[in-house]
């Protein structure tokens, strides 16, 4: 009798923890959607960049396509989180086939980043310059490719799959979160114009806050999620370091001209 009660109690705890974890991913999704909406509000409302200027004419059509695809991805991720939370796993898996967008987003993202720098004013992105800035969108695309690709490979392992898909989507959302003016300016001034805090600070702060929220909700460490967070931050540090290298500046000039 006591063993039956203990088993039932353990099952109930596991069930509650699983519900809280699913709820966490919904919360994380909402945070990312809000971050993207705020960071890209000038683009969504007026078709302008975050500085309030028109999108570069030579690459405008590709920028709009890229923005539309990334928005569709964010909506798809939100829908998938909702389906898992409500227990509709079958539709969740079927809708996962719509992730064919992944095959289109990656090359378009790379080309958009290169064209953005090709036609950028050499004095843009002060005090860093366009070639140092190029490491940011390329790192975002690389992270998106890695995490989403790994998420597909581990789709039969829910714990790993959820962590990887969220971090991949965060890599896409970073473009918007990093453009939230007050946060970027705060990190820019506080770090005395250091590259990593300026362009990665807001997103890293968001992911660390989400890590604390997840820990508080589930009351346990999630190795898959912890590793994904560590890899995300490490990629930012690595790309920021690469942006300072002379060989990178030369390479960036070659591939954008």
The pLDDT of residue 6 is: 46
Q: Give the pLDDT confidence of 124-134 residue by residue, as tens digits.
A: 888 899 999 99
Give the tens place of pLDDT for each residue, 154-206: 988 989 999 999 999 999 999 999 999 999 999 999 999 999 999 999 999 99
Buried/exposed 58-77: b ≥16 CB within 10 Å, e otherwise: ebeebbeebbebbbebbebb
- β-sheet bridge partners, residue 54: 48
Per-residue pLDDT tens over the stretch 80-91? 888 888 888 888
Is it the case that residue 5 has pLDDT exceeding 50?
Answer: no
Other beta carbons within 10 Å of 248: 17
| Entry pTM | 0.90
Cα dihedral 236, 241, 247, 252 sign? positive
Q: Where are the domains of the chain?
A: 36-255
Report the pLDDT value the prediction gives residue 2, as an integer from 0 to 100. 53
């Amino acid at each position: 009798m006591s063993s039956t009660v203990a088993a039932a109690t353990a099952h109930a705890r596991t069930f509650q923890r699983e519900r809280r974890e699913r709820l966490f991913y919904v919360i994380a999704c909402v945070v990312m959607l809000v971050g993207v909406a705020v960071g890209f509000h000038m683009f969504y409302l007026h078709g302008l960049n975050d500085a309030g200027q028109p999108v570069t004419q030579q690459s405008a059509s590709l920028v709009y396509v890229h923005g539309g695809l990334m928005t569709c991805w964010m909506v798809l991720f939100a829908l998938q989180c909702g389906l898992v939370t409500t227990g509709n796993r079958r539709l969740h898996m079927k809708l996962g086939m719509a992730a064919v967008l992944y095959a289109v987003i990656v090359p378009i993202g790379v080309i958009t980043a290169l064209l953005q720098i090709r036609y950028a004013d050499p004095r843009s992105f002060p005090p860093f310059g366009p070639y140092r800035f190029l490491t940011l969108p390329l790192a975002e695309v690389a992270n998106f490719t890695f995490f989403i690709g790994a998420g597909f490979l581990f789709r039969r392992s829910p714990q790993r799959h959820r962590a990887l898909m969220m971090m991949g989507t965060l890599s896409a959302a970073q473009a918007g979160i990093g453009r939230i003016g007050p946060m970027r300016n705060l990190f820019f001034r506080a770090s005395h114009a250091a590259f990593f805090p300026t362009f990665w600070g807001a997103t890293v702060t968001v992911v660390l806050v989400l890590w604390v929220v997840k820990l508080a909700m589930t009351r346990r460490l999630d190795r898959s999620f912890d590793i994904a967070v560590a890899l995300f931050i490490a990629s930012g540090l690595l790309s920021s370091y690469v942006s300072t290298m002379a060989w990178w500046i030369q390479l960036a000039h070659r591939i954008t001209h």
